[in-house]
Amino acid sequence: MSINLPKKTWPGSIAEVTLGKTKENGGSRGSEIVVGGQNALPLHLFEGFIPHRPVIAFEIPDVEPPENDWTPIVREVYKDMLNDPVAWSKLVVEKYGAKLICLHFIGANPDRLDRPIAECVGLLKEIVAAVDVPIIVQGYGTGDKNSEMLAKCAEECRGEGITLASAVDEHYKTLAAAAIAYDCNLVAETPIDVNLAKQLNILLTDMNVPKDRILIDPLTGGLGYGYEYTYSVMERIRLQALGGDVMMCMPFINFVGQETWKVKEVKMTAAEEPSWGSEKERGILWEATTAYALLQAGSDILVMRHPEAIAQVEKSIDEFMSK
């Protein structure tokens, strides 16, 4: 029996953002990835135009990641290259078919290894030479060093169409200037608040950052209460965008792995909580399920860690787009 679902048309649409630049466009990437462009609610292919599939980026830290943040379940997959982000990048591209990677500079944090900026930039250039997929460059947090490091990455990789993560309302001017000068995309990060997200987008566009170079990171929690709050904020942002608010029309990016693998429900072993079952299966499903839910909230880019979780979500995206 067929069901005639009610359809709604919207006056607004989501801006298209292109990640990476091929040789034809002045870079060296083997492909470009376009996200956004939809004029319908998430997954509502029956209702409007959704031209580009959501994309998943593999997260790769610049130094061996700490065990309290990268559990043994994830570390085991990459155990032979935890100290070699270049080899790690090649592995995810060649073995797991990564279309996008996110280089996370956790080692640059002054409270960790305080890795010099020149060393960070040198590593990025090595990875750019080793793989030809588009690259997201994520800093360690906020602060002057973080902004300076990301700006220098943009300068040294000018023309590659890299994406800088992230600009926040206390430190956005340096990154906005770098995005304009070196032709980069910019992630606008705000703490799960609709009005703050709009305010930062206004600040960036006032500095002449084009709307088609901005991605919204509303911040997210792992599956559970934190996620529910994120969903409601993302839903409101997307409704405003489709309603015609051009300051909210940027695609979403969500750093799923960073939130998923630090929660106690993932870290608890089967010995500690026998009724919860295998920690490996549980952790993979926790990351995948968080990603599924964020897709329903409208996520355009998911940054994830475990290849099995990523494979499950890619399969769901295939099914979703085929309909």
- State the pLDDT at residue 267: 87
The verdict on residue 316 lying in a domain is yes
Is 8 part of a structural domain of the chain? no
Q: What global pTM score does this model have?
A: 0.96
Contact 164, 150 (CB under 8 A): yes
Q: Is residue 215 in a domain? A: yes
User: SS3 string of the chain?
Assistant: CCCCCCCCCCCCCCCCEEECCEHHHCCCECCCEEECCCCCCCCCCCCCCCCCCCEEEEEEECCCCCCCCCCHHHHHHCHHHCCCHHHHHHHHHHCCCCCCEEEECHHHCCCCCCCCHHHHHHHHHHHHHHCCCCEEEECCCCCHHHHHHHHHHHHHCCCCCCEEEEEECCECHHHHHHHHHCCCEEEEECCCCHHHHHHHHHHHHHCCCCHHHEEEECCCCCCCHHHHHHHHHHHHHHHHHHCCCCCCCCCEEEEHHHHHCCCHHHHCCCCCCHHHCCHHHHHHHHHHHHHHHHHHHCEEEEEECCHHHHHHHHHHHHHHHHC
Q: Note down the domain range covering 65.
A: 17-322
Q: Which residues contact 215 (CB under 8 A, 6 or more apart)?
A: 17, 35, 163, 185, 186, 187, 188, 250, 251, 252, 253, 300, 301
In a domain, 33, yes or no: yes
Which pLDDT belongs to residue 36? 98
What is the structure's pLDDT at 149? 98
Number of domains in the chain: 1
What does the pLDDT read at residue 1?
60
In a domain, 3, yes or no: no
Does some domain include residue 11? no
Q: Domain holding 92: CATH number?
A: 3.20.20.20
Looking at residue 272, its pLDDT comes to: 86
Residue 250 pLDDT: 98
Residue 148 located in a structural domain: yes
Amino acid at 210: P
Mean pLDDT in order along the chain per 10 residues (323 residues): 78 98 97 97 92 97 92 95 97 98 97 95 98 98 95 97 95 96 97 95 98 95 75 95 98 95 87 87 94 95 98 96 82
User: For residues 43 and 296, is the Cβ–Cβ distance under 8 A?
Assistant: yes
Provide the pLDDT for residue 224.
Answer: 67
Asked whether residue 7 is assigned to any structural domain, the reply reads: no
CA angle 300, 221, 282 (to 5 degrees): 95
